Structure 1
């Protein structure tokens, strides 16, 4: 057993009206985050990729998915010091890097999709101690800085927003709270510095 995803975050994008999706819930492109650029979090070398899987239909996890398809289309970066970053569920055909490529922090490596073991478009991100997204130990990590603008009320509320398109119930942070060198908690709504 490898706890590869113990510090993972599944990132989704909320609109000004507190929704995650608008329109037909079965169309990945209707989710606000779908197709958004995925940027390298650090300088590194590409040590793993996959880009041959199609998007899943949102709304339910796929049945009987082989374990080697769990992360869908993905990129793994070796960022040095025994640390590797996994970016999973990327849009088909969007990966912009290949094995051995060197990337700089902020370089676009692909786009958000809904491939693999995914019930709605999102970016799955975690840091690990080997290049294997599943056969590794997940490691804690922090972000240089971000601002918390609101916090979701409950996981059930988030799940309902994802499943039905209803707005999430959020408690605004007034004033917004800028944090440095920490990992955001579940249900945090964050803004990133430009």
Structure 2
């Protein structure tokens, strides 16, 4: 990407508008509609990042049992583990990584223990936090989609993708307490130097607790 492109994106006053990177029902968490920086930090251009957790038709994630409060749970127990993750923009694939294991999910007491290890993961850099991921360079930004399932990525470097093309599957790799997809927009494919760009989805930004129901895979 040229310096002029990065500078143009950095000074954009309007958000980068995306299609939802999935079909079905997904619960919104860590939305910049509620606070900025959305994840409590501006490191790694995450100021406007957003998370989507796959849920059932009635808006539920995996049922909470007594065991959920005391020990980690298999990622496969969660309803959206393995759901397709789709391209939210037309663009070119500029990075992929899918060699990280999908670890267990952490709720209740396990989530507190897991949170204590977050500083170590952050110290290892953005890739350690993102886990398996894809970067798409579109017209208005570079889009990162993170925490994908190990060995699920279906695209290659330099491949052109259209809105709705399947990229991989929802997983639980990287800094993730349960299967979900993390989306962020950057002004540069070099995440360590990039600035965050604000985003919307089909012209609006969902808030924490909203359940998004994406009916179709393509909406360019």
Mapping of residues 57-136 of structure 1, within 5 Å: 57-59=104-106, 60=111, 61=114, 63=117, 64-65=120-121, 66-67=124-125, 68-81=127-140, 83-136=141-194
Take 1:121 and 1:96, find their aligned partners in 2: how far apart are those partners?
A: 18
Q: Name the structure with the higher strand share.
A: 1
Q: Deviations over 1:42-93 (max 9, x none)?
A: 1110001111110122113373332231100000000024x10000000000
* 3-state secondary structure, aligned to 2:130: coil
* 3-state secondary structure, aligned to 1:182: coil
8 Å CA contact retained: 1:69, 1:117 = yes
Residue among 169, 172, 189 paired with 2:211? 189
Which consecutive aligned stretches of 4+ in structure 1 deviate over 4 angstroms post-superposition?
none
Take 1:95 and 1:116, find their aligned partners in 2: how far apart are those partners?
A: 15
Q: Name the structure with the higher helix share.
A: 2
8 Å CA contact retained: 1:2, 1:135 = no
**What TM-score do you get using the length of structure 2 for normalisation?**
0.66
Residue among 76, 101, 116 paired with 1:54? 101
The one of the two structures with greater contact order (alpha-carbon pairs below 8 A, sep at least 6) is: 2
Q: Which ranges in structure 2 are unaligned for 5 or more consecutive residues? A: 1-41
* 3-state secondary structure, aligned to 1:29: helix
8 Å CA contact retained: 1:41, 1:106 = yes
Q: Which ranges in structure 1 are unaligned for 5 or more consecutive residues? A: 145-180
Partner of 1:21: 62
Take 1:113 and 1:134, find their aligned partners in 2: how far apart are those partners?
A: 24
Give yes or no for the alignment of 1:35 onto 2:82.
Answer: yes
User: Between Structure 1 and Structure 2, how many residues are aligned?
Assistant: 157
Q: Deviations over 1:99-148 (max 9, x none)?
A: 1111111000000000011111110011111113454211112222xxxx
Take 2:182 and 2:145, find their aligned partners in 1: how far apart are those partners?
A: 6
Q: CA RMSD in A?
A: 2.0
8 Å CA contact retained: 2:131, 2:148 = yes
* 3-state secondary structure, aligned to 2:76: helix
Take 2:58 and 2:160, find their aligned partners in 1: how far apart are those partners?
A: 39
